Structure 1
Amino acid sequence: MKSSDQGIETAELVKRVALGDEQAYRIIYDRYKTSIYSTILNLGDDEFLAEEVLQESFIRLWNYRDKLHDVEKFDAWIYRVAKNVFLTKIKSQSIPTEPLDLILHDIYHAPMSHDSTDFKELESVFEKAISHLSPKQRMTYQMIKLEGLSRKEVAQILNVSPETVKWNLDESVKKVRSYMLQALDKLPLVTVLYFLSKK
């Protein structure tokens, strides 16, 4: 976050987000991401789950931005959204990606074109992000996130414990997302989050 952004009142940023201001949305994301992640991590003790909840919470924020005019206390609202997402995922005992399609339906009326400039740029940066992972993290990420293998299957293939697979997956997901969010600061944040939800 730029030092000049720190002086902007949250209430002002929320008003701008409600009007579709993507820069204000990114500032709010940067302002709250660490505390929300930490809160969910403390609740669930699962880094991967905390990342998923953070991502989905901010997608919901953008999706329902036109309702922000009715929000009186944004801090309480965004934490409540995150906790509701967390509880939903805990109850389902899984971390599905399908609900994101429903959440984003009125943002994306059709799938992002694979021929679009944004998509090609996203794919290019995604491939670079993958290349920055360690060999074991890269293999784990590709087999689970891209090929659809289970953690148990990956553990057997790599001859490592399920705990090692979980650690490598959690670390690789964090690194890929961090790399892409930094590299794609000129693209709408919600577009990047949507792309990552499919990876």
Structure 2
Amino acid sequence: MKPVETRLVRLALKGNQRAFAEIVDLYKDKLYHLAYRMSGNRQEAEDVVQETFLRVYRSLDRYDMNQKFSTWIYRIATNLCIDRLRKRKAVYSLDAESTDREGLDGYAMLPSDDRTPESELLLSETQRIIHEAIATLPVKYKSVMILRYLQDLSLQEISDVLDMPVTTIKTRVHRGREFLRKKLEHKL
């Protein structure tokens, strides 16, 4: 764990509200992006972030200081997202149109020195197609792919977050990429 996080956790455990607020500031955007990419819905992402920090606050005394704090908080957020997706699965339709279109700009634009309105539109459309393909992934692949490629976590970190063997993570990354490749070869 980073020295800053260690200090903040220790202070928060002693009841220092400002220290907990700093923890929130450190992670709120990262967790929001994770939750939004998994759920595809701004309100749900905000709810997941709030619930994550509520659970962190309530169980901070059970946090193991030998474990990376980022792994612990990502595990909480990812599990909340997976739970929500499983509950929603019964009414989820792959053909349903997203009502949160403005939120599809969640991916950072690729750097380019010669951006034109046409290239921006094409890139935006490509990102939309990829976002829709990721949204169709089965939950077990979706969480791994988001953590790996959109949150840039290592295979070991994903293993720690999801509490699964690295070999399982590797398999799910491979199968998730294959699923996406098949989905995208017809659209791009």
Category of TM-score, reference length = shorter chain: 0.3 to 0.5
Question: Normalising by the residue count of structure 1, what TM-score does the alignment of the two structures yield?
Answer: 0.42
Question: Normalising by the residue count of structure 2, what TM-score does the alignment of the two structures yield?
Answer: 0.44
